[in-house]
């Protein structure tokens, strides 16, 4: 190991709490206190049950303080200030501009806020994902909270919590369905009211082909002026009303209401075109027709039932075909109360999805199969699509814009239990495009996620497939800013496969989040097989993944528990490119960081802040890239842009670094912006101060 | 007993359902009304009840005469917009009917198609941009809500009421013939506590007797009195037309009561007191140019959202000129708002078009025109020179538009 720059101990003695310049020894003490305090921390009784690692918030504070202290110790605070100022100026200069490639349209203020304070952004992201998941865990009241959180982040009006009337009988439950349907219809009408008929027609005709089937690449559209026009029209949509429409349907997710519906008597047999099996009732309301299917098997050709807005099925192994939601039928609710069901569709806007509409699919029990093509399974293009599956081992299969995907609205897929499989090709599994809030939250079970394997990537110099899923917030390059995309997993040993630009990342002024709250998880990166299960035609190669930001964005990946592995090829595992922030934070377990190509493991490049943060456990860092910061920047002017900032911070355990850095050491990685900080935690003997064994070195360089 | 009341009493006591009979001449597909022909029949003398006469107004000043001419030009000009059944939804046509009442005309099939009566078109369930307003379910006639349809519960019934359409006016759905009374019956059954009842209050206070009681589908006991009570207790969104709908509903019930020469007591008195308090409150929030903020009563101040300001000012003035006592109609603040709205409508005339205008802007414009029409009738009409009565009596029931 070469001689490094020793930091001066008197510099740290001057540091104090709350100043963001805590010295390493103080940080070490804080770490010990944190470990001792784990058992005593109890949340307030009125709060929902905590999720994930209870100390995650404190860890994020420590990380922020560690980074601030490092910048101060190296005397590069001014550089970092320039980085912040440069980002702020770029945001200011592009806000509202329509003429340049970077535009201000569809920009979210929370994105803007986090970009201006990048050291605090990981902490905010941790809080957001924790609170969002905590909300989703909590049934209908939790869904209400989740939508309230979404409103906050999507620049919408705040509202008081919904009140849920008790549902004491099957008929009362049916009445609640009628009320929900009426509320959603009225709100949907209001949502479209700011648009003229010709504008609505432009959206209806253009949204799906322009944003889904026509693009040959993942990052933009062909025909940028048309794309921009569509995004402008989505900005005109009354998005408050879109959320109100979705909120109108929240009471339907109340387990008590669903239980009462399941007790509805089978009292008749009516004929409904498009449905087979026993249909016990058909009810007409001003807001649409409600059909109730019996307890035996039914098939529903939903697109032949255009006048029907609600299907309640009491039981049986049912098959649902299509069920597209668009202006022709802007609202559809499907509630299936029992049985192993199959949902099959080829059209856009099916299975709890919508194009300019509002849709909800609730499947209460059974092992279900969801098979669709595009814009499906909790997805929307202008509107809201919600799919909640309450139980069973389920399979979700789609191609593009599926499984918690949103542009111009809400796309939510919640699976509450079971071992589930998610399979998709592009823009999926918690993806937020312009003005979109896309969420996939699987609460429990050993799950398998796959995105990619079908469309060759758009980088000519590297092999692979487009991915664009698993917690990605992405704009359309040269067209519009991105939204928020989240993938959250509550527990179980999960496996994630993903191709390019996937898993907790932002692209083009969007923000993405991936978080797994428990279990031993494998993030395999590049898909092992092609989309259809055959051998890949492209060599296994993954670019931009696992806590990354690319082009004016922020991306975060969190893992709360378990022994996890992180794979990848290049530009991943806490990576930032082009005025971005990318962070991967693992809060516990013996973890392996296997991604070892260029730009991996806490790297910032082209004026970026890349972070890899690991707490506890004996961890292995393969390769040489940990915390590497180069001086090479060609996208922005130096010194105005501040430089590159790279952090690997590891607290506790016996860790091994491919770059040669030692346990309990403090290392400079290439330039002064490169940090590899390893600190020990010793419960019984108190802190092993970083000072004692942390003379700064130039590890591996 | 008036015919309408008789029909309703029959309906409510027998729970009469529609007779699902075959087509009744004229067959569906015929024009609901020819241009100039009286489409909706009216019950004479029981049209919309606003304008409680008191003392004769003072003579019109030259300024007011000039304002009258501008108001009438604006209303006439907008009444000739080429709204049509190809490009405009049923929801748009409900707004047109609100503004121009029984005389509202739209074009059939295209902007150059033949003129048909807007209310007739809706009552005969013509497809409007593909959307049909009415449906029959379980033997009952109901007006649908949602995109392209009613924007609020009971909106169509309220427009029928304010247009003075009689309860026995024919409605057709497919091969089924019914009347407005059947729609009234459904709205009675579909009354639900804790919901927005403002427009239902307008419709039912118009078509029902004040003492009438009924049971809803859910078994709740209802009356106009209870509708008022629920509306008084309801919290409306102060930042949207919800707040003016609520005030208009309460005002309508009170004015209807007065129009029937019944004492304003009990809930009606509560409503009247409440509305009068709100008059002053609303005028305090008025801007110096006569407008209100686009967020209605939620924000005081001007807004750069001109369309939003037209919408809020139109809704607020509509309620004010409907409910203010006659001696306050020429209050300078009211006159200022009338002038503001007229000017805004004049300046935006060229921007209007059946497909180039949003449903929100069409609604805002039509409520503004309705406000001006009410103002014209209450303030300017009494000073019009007497005209010889035409040989054919106008039976459209139109009372709002000039």
- B84 contact residues in A (CB cutoff 8 A): none
Count CB atoms within 10 A of the CB of residue A349: 31
A284/B135 Cβ within 8 A: yes
Locate the chain A residue with the closest alpha carbon to B140.
A284
Residue B339 three-state SS:
helix
B149/A289 Cβ within 8 A: no
Of B149, B152, B355, the CB nearest to A196: B355
B354 touches chain A (CB under 8 A): yes
The sign of the torsion formed by the CA atoms of B290, B294, B299, B304 equals negative
B147/A192 Cβ within 8 A: yes
Give the whole-angstrom CA distance, residue A497 versus residue B331: 72
* % of chain B at pLDDT higher than 90: 75
Of B147, B192, B355, the CB nearest to A189: B147
- A194 contact residues in B (CB cutoff 8 A): 358, 360
Residue A450 three-state SS:
strand
Residues of chain A in Cβ contact (below 8 Å) with chain B: 175, 179, 182, 185-186, 188-190, 192-199, 283-289, 327, 330-331
Q: Which residue is listed with tokens 């209310």?
A: B119
- As a whole number of angstroms, the longest Cα–Cα distance in chain A is 86
Of B146, B190, B356, the CB nearest to A196: B356
- B245 contact residues in A (CB cutoff 8 A): none
Closest Cα of chain A to B378: distance in Å? 31
Closest Cα of chain A to B68: distance in Å? 31
Q: Tens digits of per-residue pLDDT, B267-323?
A: 999 999 999 999 999 999 999 999 999 999 999 999 889 999 999 999 999 999 999
Of A188, A199, A284, the CB nearest to B147: A188
- A189 contact residues in B (CB cutoff 8 A): 91, 145-149, 151, 359
Buried b (16+ CB within 10 A) or exposed e, B17-29: ebeeeeeeeeebe
Closest Cα of chain B to A328: distance in Å? 9
Q: Nearest CA to A439 among A460, A401, A413, A465?
A: A413
A179/B151 Cβ within 8 A: no
- B91 contact residues in A (CB cutoff 8 A): 189
B86 touches chain A (CB under 8 A): no
Of B138, B192, B363, the CB nearest to A284: B138
Interface-testing mutation among B145, B183, B218, B351, with chain A (most A C-beta atoms within 10 A): B145
Structure tokens at A519: 């279990």
Q: Which residue is listed with tokens 């995105």?
A: A451
Tell me: pLDDT of B3 over 90: no
Q: What is the phi/psi pair of residue B332, to 5°?
A: -55, -30
Give the whole-angstrom CA distance, residue A292 versus residue B288: 57
Phi-psi bin for A340: left (phi > 0), alpha (psi -120 to 50), beta? beta
Q: Which residue is listed with tokens 């909800």?
A: A360
Q: Nearest CA to A343 among A316, A315, A322?
A: A322
Structure tokens at B204: 């039912």
For A273, B145, B263, the CA distances from A291, given in Å and listed in that order, are 11, 18, 47
Give the whole-angstrom CA distance, residue A270 versus residue A291: 9
Locate the chain B residue with the closest alpha carbon to A326.
B147
Give the whole-angstrom CA distance, residue A52 versus residue A131: 10
Structure tokens at A646: 């790279």
Q: Tens digits of per-residue pLDDT, B78-120?
A: 998 889 999 999 999 999 999 999 999 999 999 999 999 999 9
Locate the chain B residue with the closest alpha carbon to A201.
B355
CA angle A359, A360, A362 (to 5 degrees): 160
Closest Cα of chain B to A184: distance in Å? 8
Q: Nearest CA to A480 among A428, A552, A545, A549?
A: A552
Three-state secondary structure of A334-380: EEECCCCCEEECCCCCECCEEEEEEEEEEECCCCCEEECCEEECCEE
- Please, which residues have CB within 8 angstroms of residue A460's CB and are 6 or more apart in sequence? none
- A196 contact residues in B (CB cutoff 8 A): 355-358, 361
- A182 contact residues in B (CB cutoff 8 A): 145, 153
Closest Cα of chain B to A444: distance in Å? 37
Q: What is the phi/psi pair of residue A547, to 5°?
A: 80, 75
CA atoms within 13 A on the CB side of A88: 11
Residue A147 three-state SS:
helix
- By the 8 A CB rule, do B288 and B217 touch? no
A287/B145 Cβ within 8 A: yes
- A175 contact residues in B (CB cutoff 8 A): 218
Structure tokens at B193: 């506590």
Give the whole-angstrom CA distance, residue A318 versus residue A300: 8
Give the whole-angstrom CA distance, residue B132 versus residue B149: 8
- Please, which residues have CB within 8 angstroms of residue A525's CB and are 6 or more apart in sequence? A497, A498, A503, A542, A545, A546, A566, A567, A568, A569, A572, A595
Average pLDDT (B47-59) is 49
- By the 8 A CB rule, do A538 and A465 touch? yes
- Please, which residues have CB within 8 angstroms of residue A311's CB and are 6 or more apart in sequence? A290, A291, A293, A300, A302, A305, A320, A332, A333, A334, A335
Interface-testing mutation among A196, A326, A330, A359, with chain B (most B C-beta atoms within 10 A): A196
Residue A121: alpha-carbon gap to chain centroid: 15
**ipTM surpasses cut 0.90:** no
User: Chain-wide mean pLDDT for chain B?
Assistant: 85
- B142 contact residues in A (CB cutoff 8 A): 284-286
How many pairs of residues across A and B have Cβ atoms under 8 Å apart?
A: 76
Touching A: B residues 251-270, CB under 8 Å: none
Give the whole-angstrom CA distance, residue B268 versus residue B250: 8
Of B135, B218, B360, the CB nearest to A193: B360
Closest Cα of chain B to A636: distance in Å? 38
B136/A193 Cβ within 8 A: no
Give the whole-angstrom CA distance, residue B161 versus residue B255: 13
Touching A: B residues 89-108, CB under 8 Å: 89, 91
Pairing outcome for strands A580-586 and A603-605: unpaired
Q: Tens digits of per-residue pLDDT, B221-262?
A: 999 999 999 999 999 999 999 999 999 999 999 999 999 999
Q: Which residue is listed with tokens 């998709």?
A: A424
Residue A281 three-state SS:
strand
Q: Which residue is listed with tokens 């559209």?
A: A221
A331/B358 Cβ within 8 A: no
Q: How many contiguous H segments (helices) and E segments (strands) does chain B have?
A: 13, 8
Touching A: B residues 139-178, CB under 8 Å: 140, 142-153
Phi-psi bin for A603: left (phi > 0), alpha (psi -120 to 50), beta? beta
Closest Cα of chain B to A342: distance in Å? 30
* % of chain B at pLDDT higher than 70: 80
Quick one: pLDDT at residue B60? 86
Interface-testing mutation among B146, B186, B310, B366, with chain A (most A C-beta atoms within 10 A): B146
Name the E strands within A244-341. Answer: 275-276, 279-285, 288-293, 299-301, 308-313, 319-321, 331-336
Of A193, A198, A287, the CB nearest to B356: A198
Helix (H) / strand (E) element for A649: namely strand A645-651
For A204, A260, A303, A361, B116, the CA distances from A326, given in Å and listed in that order, are 8, 30, 11, 15, 30
A284/B355 Cβ within 8 A: no
In B293-355, which residue ranges form alpha helices assigned H by DSSP? 306-323, 332-348
Residue A404 three-state SS:
coil
Quick one: pLDDT at residue B383? 86
| pLDDT averaged per 10 residues in sequence order, chain A, 701 residues | 32 32 50 45 55 95 97 97 98 84 95 98 98 96 98 97 95 97 98 95 97 92 93 97 98 98 94 97 97 98 97 98 97 98 98 98 98 98 98 98 98 98 98 98 98 96 97 97 98 97 98 98 98 96 98 98 98 98 98 97 98 97 97 95 98 97 96 97 49 56 48
B145/A189 Cβ within 8 A: yes
B355 touches chain A (CB under 8 A): yes
């Amino acid at each position: 190991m070469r001689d490094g720059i020793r930091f001066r101990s008197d510099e740290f003695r001057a540091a104090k709490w709350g100043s963001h310049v805590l010295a390493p020894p103080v940080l070490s003490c804080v770490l010990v206190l944190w470990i001792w305090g784990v058992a005593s921390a109890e949340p307030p009784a009125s709060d929902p049950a905590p999720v994930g690692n209870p100390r995650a918030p404190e860890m994020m504070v420590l990380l922020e303080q560690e980074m601030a202290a490092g910048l101060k110790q190296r005397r590069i605070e001014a550089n970092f200030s320039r980085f912040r100022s440069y980002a702020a100026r770029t945001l200011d200069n592009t806000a509202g501009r329509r003429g340049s490639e970077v535009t201000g349209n569809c920009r979210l203020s929370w994105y803007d806020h986090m970009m201006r304070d990048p050291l605090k952004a990981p902490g905010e992201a941790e809080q957001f994902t924790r609170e969002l998941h905590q909300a989703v865990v909590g049934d209908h009241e939790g869904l209400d909270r989740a939508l309230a959180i979404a409103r906050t982040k999507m620049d919408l009006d705040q509202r008081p919590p919904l009140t849920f009337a008790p549902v004491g009988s099957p008929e009362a439950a049916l009445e609640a369905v009628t009320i929900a349907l009426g509320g959603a219809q009225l709100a949907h009408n209001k949502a479209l009211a700011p648009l003229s008929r010709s504008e609505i027609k432009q959206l209806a005709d253009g949204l799906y082909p322009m944003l889904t089937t026509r693009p040959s690449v993942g990052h933009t559209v062909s025909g940028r002026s048309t794309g921009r026009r569509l995004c402008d029209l989505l900005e005109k949509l009354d998005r408050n009303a879109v959320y109100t429409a979705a909120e109108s349907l929240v009471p339907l997710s109340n387990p008590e209401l669903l239980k009462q519906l399941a007790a509805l008597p089978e009292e008749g047999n009516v004929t409904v075109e498009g449905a087979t099996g026993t249909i016990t009732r058909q009810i007409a309301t001003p807001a649409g027709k409600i059909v109730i299917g019996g307890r035996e098997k039914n098939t529903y050709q939903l697109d032949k039932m255009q006048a029907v807005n609600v299907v309640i099925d009491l039981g049986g192994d049912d098959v649902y075909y299509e069920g597209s939601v668009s202006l022709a039928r802007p609202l559809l609710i499907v509630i299936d109360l029992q049985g192993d069901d199959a949902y099959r569709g080829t059209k856009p806007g099916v299975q709890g999805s919508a194009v300019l509409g509002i849709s909800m699919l609730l499947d209460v029990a059974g092992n279900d199969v969801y098979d669709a093509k595009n814009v499906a399974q909790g997805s929307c293009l202008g509107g809201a699509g919600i799919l909640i599956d309450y139980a069973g081992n389920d399979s979700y299969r789609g191609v593009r814009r599926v499984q918690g995907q949103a542009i111009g609205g809400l796309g939510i897929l919640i699976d509450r239990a079971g071992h589930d499989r998610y399979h998709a090709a592009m823009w999926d599994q918690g993806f937020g495009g312009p003005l979109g809030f896309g969420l996939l939250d699987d609460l429990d079970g050993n799950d398998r996620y796959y995105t990619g394997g079908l469309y060759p990537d758009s980088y000519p110099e590297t092999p692979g497939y487009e991915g664009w899923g698993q917690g990605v917030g992405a704009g359309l390059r040269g067209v519009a800013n991105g939204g928020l995309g989240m993938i959250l997993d509550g527990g179980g040993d999960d496996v994630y496969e993903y191709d390019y630009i996937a898993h907790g990342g932002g692209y083009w002024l969007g923000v993405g989040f991936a978080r797994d709250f428990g279990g031993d998880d494998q993030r395999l990166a590049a898909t092992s097989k092609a989309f259809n299960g055959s051998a890949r035609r492209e060599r296994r190669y993954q670019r931009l993944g696992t806590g990354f930001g690319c082009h004016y964005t922020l991306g975060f990946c969190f893992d709360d528990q378990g022994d996890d592995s992180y794979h990848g090829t290049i530009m991943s595992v806490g990576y930032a490119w082009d005025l971005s922030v990318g962070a991967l934070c693992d809060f516990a377990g013996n973890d392996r960081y296997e991604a070892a190509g260029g730009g991996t493991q806490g790297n910032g490049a082209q004026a970026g802040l890349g972070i890899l943060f690991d707490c506890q456990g004996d961890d292995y860092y393969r390769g040489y890239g940990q915390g590497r910061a180069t001086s090479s920047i060609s996208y922005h002017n130096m010194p105005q842009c501040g430089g590159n900032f790279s952090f690997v911070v590891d607290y506790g355990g016996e860790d091994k670094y491919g770059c040669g850095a030692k346990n309990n050491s403090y290392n400079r990685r290439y330039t002064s912006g490169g940090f590899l900080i390893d600190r020990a935690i010793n419960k019984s003997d108190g802190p092993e101060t970083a000072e004692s064994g942390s003379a700064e070195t130039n590890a591996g360089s | 007993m008036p015919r309408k009341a008789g029909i309703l009493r029959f309906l409510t006591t027998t729970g009469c359902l529609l007779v699902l009979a075959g087509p009744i001449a004229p067959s569906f597909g015929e024009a609901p009304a020819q241009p100039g022909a009286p489409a909706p029949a009216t019950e004479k003398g029981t049209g919309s009840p606003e304008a409680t006469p008191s003392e004769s107004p003072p003579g019109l000043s030259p300024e007011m005469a000039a304002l009258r001419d501008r108001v009438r030009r604006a209303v006439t000009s907008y009444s000739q917009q080429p709204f049509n059944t190809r490009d405009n939804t049923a929801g748009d046509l409900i707004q047109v009917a609100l503004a121009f009442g029984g005389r509202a005309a739209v074009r059939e099939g295209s902007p150059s198609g033949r003129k048909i009566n807007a209310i007739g078109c809706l009552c005969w369930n013509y497809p409007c941009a593909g959307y049909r307003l009415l449906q029959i379910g379980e033997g009952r006639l109901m007006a649908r809500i949602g995109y392209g349809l009613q924007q609020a519960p009971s909106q169509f019934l309220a427009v029928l009421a304010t247009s003075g359409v009689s309860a026995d006016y024919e409605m057709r759905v497919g091969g089924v013939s019914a009347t407005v009374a059947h729609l009234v019956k459904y709205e009675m059954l579909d009354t639900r506590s804790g919901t927005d009842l403002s427009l239902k209050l307008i419709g039912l206070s118009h078509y029902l007797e004040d003492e009438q009681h009924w049971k809803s589908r859910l078994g709740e006991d209802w009356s106009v009195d209870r509708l008022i009570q629920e509306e008084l207790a309801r919290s409306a969104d102060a930042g949207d037309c919800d707040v003016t709908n609520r005030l208009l509903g309460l005002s309508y019930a009170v004015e209807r009561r007065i129009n029937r020469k019944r004492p304003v007591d009990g809930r009606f008195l509560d409503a009247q007191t409440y509305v009068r308090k709100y008059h002053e409150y609303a005028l305090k929030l008025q801007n110096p140019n006569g407008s209100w903020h686009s967020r209605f009563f939620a924000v005081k101040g001007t807004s750069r959202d001109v369309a939003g300001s037209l919408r809020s000012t139109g809704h607020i003035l509509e309620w004010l000129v409907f409910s203010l006592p006659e001696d306050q109609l020429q209050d300078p603040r009211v006159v200022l708002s009338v002038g503001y709205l007229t000017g805004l409508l004049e300046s935006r005339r060229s921007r209007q078009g059946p497909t180039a205008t949003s449903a929100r802007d069409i609604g805002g414009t039509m409520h503004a025109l309705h406000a001006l029409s009410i103002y014209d009738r209450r303030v300017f009409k009494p000073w019009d020179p007497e005209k010889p009565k035409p040989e054919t009596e106008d039976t459209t029931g139109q009372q709002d538009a000039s």
